[in-house]
Amino acid sequence: MRTLSAALLAAWPLWVAAQSAELLNLRANGIDVPAELVRPEGAGPFRPVLFVHARRGYEDEERAHVRELASQGFLVLAPDWQKGRLIERWPVAHDPETEADVEAALEALLKRPEACKGPVGIVGVSRGPYYALRLAAKRPQDVAAIVSYYGHFQNPNAPEPAQIYSFAPEVQTIKAPVLMLIGEQDFEVRRLSNGRAFYALWERGVPVELQMYPLARRAFDFRRDQTPEERIATRHARQRAKEWLLRWLPKC
């Protein structure tokens, strides 16, 4: 994995950079899946969180996000579902085989001795929440809550009409509470799928909240050209995510 860039590291609060990190090598269907485990300070046990990155890859901004979650008291495991399969950045198609790689990370997180016993939270970015939907539908007993940053709520391989007018079938079966975080200036198709999924979850009685950020663009939380409003939106989103996870993840 790449090391953290000096410039980005210097820009982070000291408590973010100070977390204890460990590089792991997981196995899924004969594939090596690199992953990073970041622990909070203290002896634990800690509430476990699975972090699923976007299709741009697991990079410095993702590492910063993972460390911020750890600073909030969560034990965070972040698999790199692209690197093990030599998938280039920004893949258009979704590779279903990568779902096994993310599930292997879920299995590893559940077995960590410093993790609280019970289901985990999942924080997903862009395509990451689609993996969360799939896991929550397949293994409802192991997923306590989902936080989605401008997430896919439709299969990325579905045809365009499905992207616009419907949502993934898993939305109709999952039970895990879902927090949706998205900018009002994000792609229209993404806002549409989030909105339709929100109403479907709410009608089924699944705890769900949708936070739309005014003046915030696509990927508002890690853009290197962030506006002042997007910087505020990022702080607000991180706080909302923390509160959501603390609300729904079982206490140790």
Predicted TM-score (pTM) of the model is 0.92
Residue 122 located in a structural domain? yes
- The CATH number covering residue 96 comes to 3.40.50.1820
Model pLDDT, residue 8: 44
Model pLDDT, residue 153: 98
What are 143-164's pLDDT values in tens digits?
999 999 999 999 999 999 999 9
Boundaries of domain holding 56: 6-248
Residue 83 located in a structural domain? yes
Q: Which amino acid is at 180?
A: M
Model pLDDT, residue 11: 42
Residue 1 located in a structural domain? no
What's the CA gap between 244 and 114, in Å, rounded?
21
| 10-residue averages of pLDDT along the chain (252 residues) | 40 52 95 97 95 96 97 98 94 96 98 97 98 98 98 96 96 98 97 97 98 98 96 98 98 91
Structural domains counted in the chain: 1
In order, the DSSP letters of 144-198 are EEEEEES---S-TTS-HHHHHH---GGGGT--S-EEEEEEEES-HHHHHHHHHHH
Model pLDDT, residue 177: 99
Residue 117 located in a structural domain? yes
Model pLDDT, residue 163: 93
Model pLDDT, residue 5: 43
Residue 13 located in a structural domain? yes
Model pLDDT, residue 6: 40
Model pLDDT, residue 43: 87
Residue 202 located in a structural domain? yes
What's the CA gap between 243 and 238, in Å, rounded?
9
